[in-house]
Amino acid sequence: MTDQSKIPLPPELRSASGPSLIERASGSFDFRTLTRPVVPDLPPAPKPSAPKPVAVAVPAAPVAPAPVAAPAPFAPPPPETIVEVNRFTGAYHKIDREHLREQCIIEPESAVTSTLEEFRIIKRQLLRVAAESRGGQGTRHGERILIASAHPGEGKTFCAVNLAISIAAEKDNEVLLVDADFAKPSVLSTLGLPGGKGLMDALADPSLPVEDCVIGTDIAGLYVLPAGNATGSDTEYLASARTNAVLDRLTAHSPSRIVIFDSPPVLAASPATVLANHVGQTVVVVRADVTGEAALRDAVGLLGACEDIKLLLNGTRFSTTGRRFGTYYGYKE
């Protein structure tokens, strides 16, 4: 077998006092040339100054949408506000329907006639102006309507009564028919109503409330104010400052009330000219083949205090347009 004993060192290497191998190699080679040169310490670098703050526009944070409230449970709508209407408290009288029929006046709750259809169209224009006036538009006092004519016998009372009965049939309106023909009143006789104190009495007597003179009828929504006792100063009473207060009482607390004045003929008496200052609408009745153009122009000129004047052709026997209202409902003339 091979001898595995240690190989003895030479005598020069066994001397403990001789230089070691590393020392001898250090003497032959300069190890300092193989190491990185030592760099002297440098003074510490100054710390950089903090940068100046720069204003930067930051967009606003989006606003979160408001939370959607859960739908409220169904509730019935609140009741409508009821406006207290100042009702007339005078005596009520029954109107003879046969008496109306004899005079070709509209008969309430009767079949549709050509006269009824004609006045339905006429009243619609007047009610529209009245509604606009209540809303603050158009003419003032549009709920006051004056029915006039140039001469007697042209049908102003006939038109005033028919128009009043037609408006009384409205579901949202009531009408007060005022007989303002103080010299020759005819509204009461046309309707078959008794006489009594009326408008002129209330104007002449400050202690008499005008609403106490109003007569109720059995036609729903129709009231009548008589002319009253005539005086020698009818026009002067109408032109007084008290007239405004008296007429205002006729519609006080009653926004749906329409007041119709049946005035005397414009060219025959002066009250119509004064009444034109207190109304918002005027209807001049023109009799076909009777009223002359010159008379009509004069009448309209005297009523110029009213801004809204309409013409109503009465008594026609021929229609150029072929209109025959009422025939659609089976009525035969």
Residue numbers of the chain with a pLDDT score lower than 50: 13, 16, 21, 25, 29, 31, 34-35, 38-39, 80-84, 332-333
Q: Is 255 part of any domain?
A: yes
pLDDT in tens, 268-284: 999 999 999 999 999 99
Cα 57 to the chain's mean position, in Å?
49
pLDDT score of 83: 42
Residue 219, in any domain of the structure: yes
Residue 1 covered by a domain: no
Q: For the chain, how many structural domains are there in total?
A: 1
Is residue 248, in this structure, part of any structural domain at all? Answer: yes
Percent of the chain topping pLDDT 90: 59
* Sheet architecture: strand order including 215-217: 92-93, 215-217, 222-225, 174-179, 257-262, 144-149, 281-287, 309-314
How is residue 187 written in tokens?
């509204």
Q: Does residue 82 fall inside a structural domain?
A: no
Beta pairing, strands 144-149 & 257-262: parallel
pLDDT given at position 49: 60
CATH number at residue 121: 3.40.50.300
pLDDT score at 142:
93
Tokens of 310: 């309409």
The answer as to whether 133 is a domain residue is yes
Q: Which pLDDT value is given to residue 279?
A: 96
Domain extent for 105: 92-318
- Single out the residue of 172, 152, 155 nearest to residue 119, CA to CA: 155
How does strand 174-179 pair with strand 222-225?
A: parallel
CA dihedral 295, 297, 139, 163 (to 10 degrees): 30
pLDDT in tens, 104-122: 999 998 888 989 999 999 9
Residue 188 domain-assigned (yes or no): yes
In a domain, 158, yes or no: yes
